[in-house]
Chain A
Amino acid sequence: MPSLKTLRTRINSVRSTQKITGAMKMVAAAKLRRAQAQAEASRPYARRMGEMMSALAGGAQGNPNAPSLLVGNGRDKTHLLLALTADRGLAGAFSANVGRHTRTLITSLESQGKTVKIFGLGRKGNDYFRRYAGDRVIGTKNFIGKKTIAFEDAEAIAGEIIALFKKSEFDVCTLVFNRFHSVMSQTVTQTPLIPAASPPANDNPAGDAPAPYEIEPDDGTLLARLLPRNLAVQIYAALLENSAGFYASQMTAMDSATRNAGEMIKKLSLNYNRARQANITKELIEIISGAEAV
C-alpha cells in the first residue's frame, strides 16, 4: 500500500500532465483550422491546373516527342518514393502509418526485382527510414521552425525531384502521404507523380466535348512549363493535407490522453481516499483501545 504522500504527488503529476495535453489539444485544434483553411484556399488553383493539364496532355499522349515528365522515360526499373510525414510527434500513429505503408511498398517492389529509393519529407519519417531503410534514402527535408508551408517550399522540392529525374536517378516517382478525410480519419494514400497520372476521361463522352483550345506559344513549350508547375502543385497539396492531417491526428491523440489522465486521476483519488479513511480508522481504534486499557 503506497503512502498517502506518494499518492498525493502522483495525483498532482498526472493532473499537470492532463493540463499540458489539454492545452496541446486546444492548440492543435486552432492550428488544424488554419491548416484546413489553407488547404481549402489552394484548391481552386489545383483544379484549374488539372483542367489545363488534361486539355494539353490529351494531345501529347500518343506523341513520341511527349515530355518525359508526362509519359515517363520508358523504363520502370528504379522507383522513387516521396514519403510525407510529420515533423513532430505526439500525434498517435500518424507518421508510423506512412512509414509502415512505405515499408510494405518497398518489400513488394523489391520482390519484383526493382530498385527503390526514398526521399523523406518530415523529421519523423527521416528518423524512421534511417532505421528501417538505411541506404535507400537519397534525400530528406523537413519544415521545422516554419509556421505555414509556402508554395516556394513545394516548388523547391519539385525542383530537386526533377533534377534527380533528369539525371536518371529514378524512372518512376510515387508520392506517399496521409490524406485528410476528417478529424477522425486520415488514410495513407499513394499517387503517381512521374509519369503524371493520365488525365481523367472526359466526363461527357456523348460528343458534347468543349471546343478545343488554341495554345500559345505552342503545346510543347507550354507543357514544358506546365509540368514542373503541376508537380509542385501536387506536392504542395499533399503537404497541406499532411499538415492538416497531422494536427487532426494530434488533436485526437491529445484528446484521448486528456481523457485517460482524467480516468487515472479518478482511480488514484479513490485509492487516496481509501488510504486516508483506513488511516483515520486505524488511529481511532488505537485511541479507543488505549482509553479502554486505562
Chain B
Amino acid sequence: MPLALEIISPEKLLLSRDVDMVVIPGTEGDLGILPGHANLITGLRGGLVDIYAGGQITERYFVSGGFAEVTDTHCAVLADSIIRQSDLNPATAATLLDEAKADYAAVNMADQDSYLRASDRLISAQAMLDSAAPARAEKT
C-alpha cells in the first residue's frame, strides 16, 4: 500500500504522488512516515524532507518550517517555503543565517512572539546551511 504524499506551499502544489516512505522534520524530531501511520498533526522545523523509494532516498526538499498532517493513507506537508535540496546555495544560506543571527541578537526577549519568530528563523536558516553543505561535499 503506497503513501500519498503531498507537498504544498501557499503558492502552489509542488508534488503529489505515491511514495514508499517519507521522512519529515517535525518540531520534536525527524519522523519517518510509512503507510498505516497513526493520524497525526505536527509542526515542522526547518530541515529536509526525504522521499524514499525502494529503500533509497530519491528526492530531498528543504522546507523552512510549516505543518504536516498524516493519516494512514496520506501525508500532507504544508511548508512555508520549499526548495529542492540540490538548488540550495550555501552562500545565500550563510547570508540568511547572518541576518537571522543579527535579528536574534536584537530581539526583545520579553516579547514572546517576536522572540519565537526570531528563533524559528535562526533554526531554519541554520538548517538551510546544514542541508546545503552536504550536497557540495558529495559532488566534489
Between B10, B26, B42, B69, the greatest number of chain A beta carbons within 10 A of the residue's beta carbon is seen for B10
Cβ of B42 and Cβ of A215 under 8 Å apart?
A: yes
Cβ of A217 and Cβ of B28 under 8 Å apart?
A: yes
Q: Is A13 an interface residue (CB 8 A)?
A: no
Complex interface bits, A221-234 against B, C-beta within 8 A gives 1, otherwise 0: 11001100100110
Cβ of A216 and Cβ of B69 under 8 Å apart?
A: no
Interface residues of B in 33-50 (CB under 8 A from A): 38-43
Cβ of A215 and Cβ of B11 under 8 Å apart?
A: no
Q: How far is the CA of A236 from the CA of B71 in the complex (A)?
A: 27
Q: How far is the CA of A42 from the CA of B113 in the complex (A)?
A: 27
* Residues of chain B contacted by A232 (CB below 8 angstroms): 10
Which of B6, B13, B39 meets A210, CB within 8 Å? B39
A214-B28 contact given A48-B8, A166-B113, CB 8 Å threshold: no
Stretch at the interface among A50-58, A183-191, A249-257: A50-58
Cβ of B10 and Cβ of A236 under 8 Å apart?
A: yes
| Minimal beta-carbon separation of B21 from chain A (angstroms) | 18
Q: Is A151 an interface residue (CB 8 A)?
A: yes
Total interface residues on A, CB under 8 Å, equals: 32
Q: Is B27 an interface residue (CB 8 A)?
A: yes
Total interface residues on B, CB under 8 Å, equals: 22
Interface residues of A in 42-70 (CB under 8 A from B): 42, 44-45, 48-49, 51-52, 55-56
* Residues of chain A contacted by B41 (CB below 8 angstroms): 52, 55-56, 213-216, 222
Interface residues of A in 118-161 (CB under 8 A from B): 150-151, 154
* Residues of chain B contacted by A207 (CB below 8 angstroms): none
Q: How far is the CA of A54 from the CA of B71 in the complex (A)?
A: 15
Which of B11, B28, B76 meets A41, CB within 8 Å? B11
Q: Is A212 an interface residue (CB 8 A)?
A: yes
| Minimal beta-carbon separation of B63 from chain A (angstroms) | 13
Q: How far is the CA of A222 from the CA of B27 in the complex (A)?
A: 10
Q: Is B9 an interface residue (CB 8 A)?
A: yes
Q: Is A291 an interface residue (CB 8 A)?
A: no
Which of A150, A214, A217 meets B27, CB within 8 Å? A217
Q: How far is the CA of A44 from the CA of B12 in the complex (A)?
A: 8
Chain A positions near chain B (C-beta within 8 angstroms): 38, 41-42, 44-45, 48-49, 51-52, 55-56, 150-151, 154, 162, 166, 210-217, 221-222, 225-226, 229, 232-233, 236
- A sample of 22 inter-chain contacts (CB < 8 A) reads A41-B11, A41-B12, A41-B13, A42-B10, A45-B9, A45-B10, A48-B6, A48-B76, A51-B69, A52-B67, A151-B11, A154-B10, A166-B113, A210-B71, A213-B39, A214-B40, A215-B40, A215-B41, A216-B41, A216-B42, A216-B43, A225-B43
